[in-house]
Amino acid sequence: MNWPLPPFSLPIYLPILVLSSLFLIPCTFSPSSLFLNPNLLALFMAYRIPTDTHIGHIHLKVADLERALSFYHDLLGFEITQRYGDQAVFLSAGGYHHHIGLNTWYSKGAPAAPLRSAGLFHTAIVYPERKDLAAVLRRLNEAGYPLTGAADHGVSEALYLNDPDNNGVELYWDRPNEQWPLDEKGNLMMVTEHLDLEALSLEM
């Protein structure tokens, strides 16, 4: 059965149709023939993102810049690398130009985004070692800053909390790759299990 294309799908299908004509690949508007054509799939699946690619930074809209800085700079310890007056600031760990951007360009004094809406789920910050995660846990406890959760994911141990604008934040450390849980076929098997916060806090 050939299905009509919805108008919004034209930008998605147009490159496929052009490539199909260039390579003389039979193509109809049937999803099965369009996406299951082995020649077409091979063409599009040949690209792989470089293995050293990584997420460079997160840029957040905040309601109050100083309030956000009290969390990311004062509490979590990120260093300020550049300010843009009283409207934006860049922060980083270890001298990078910025891992986190904060701005009030469109959000000064605005309420937090609704929980049940599309958007950021959380920002994940990875620490080098377990003792570093323990140190930030102790720091949060001393400041009386609440957690929203904690979990052992098999590959990592993680703390969850919200920043002052109610953006989700994950603080975690990764176990060595050789300790990651795998099934009998070698597939990754992440889990969500109880994390002993008291034991973590004692890590030196």
Domains contained in the chain, number: 2
Q: What is the extent of the structural domain holding 36?
A: 8-45
In a domain, residue 96? The reply is: no
Torsion of CA 19, 21, 24, 26, to 10 degrees: 100
Q: What is the pTM of this model?
A: 0.79
Which class for 142: exposed (0-12), middle (13-18), buried (19 or more C-beta within 10 A)?
Answer: exposed
171 belongs to a structural domain: yes
Residue 56 placed within a domain: no
Tokens describing residue 18: 């052009």
Order across the sheet with 100-103: list the strands.
Answer: 58-61, 100-103, 88-92, 79-84
Assigned domain for 78 exists: no
CATH number at residue 181: 3.10.180.10
pLDDT tens over the chain, length 204 residues: 444 444 444 455 545 544 544 444 444 445 555 456 676 666 667 889 999 999 999 999 999 999 999 999 999 999 999 999 999 999 999 999 999 999 999 999 999 999 999 999 999 999 999 999 999 999 999 999 999 999 999 999 999 999 999 999 999 999 999 999 999 999 999 999 999 999 999 997
Task: Compute the distance between CA of residue 65 and CA of residue 102 in angstroms, rounded to an integer.
Answer: 7
- Is residue 86, in this structure, part of any structural domain at all? no
Asked whether residue 150 is assigned to any structural domain, the reply reads yes
Same-domain pairing of 117 and 202: yes
- Asked, for residue 94, whether it belongs to a domain, the answer is no
- Give domain status of residue 73, yes or no: no
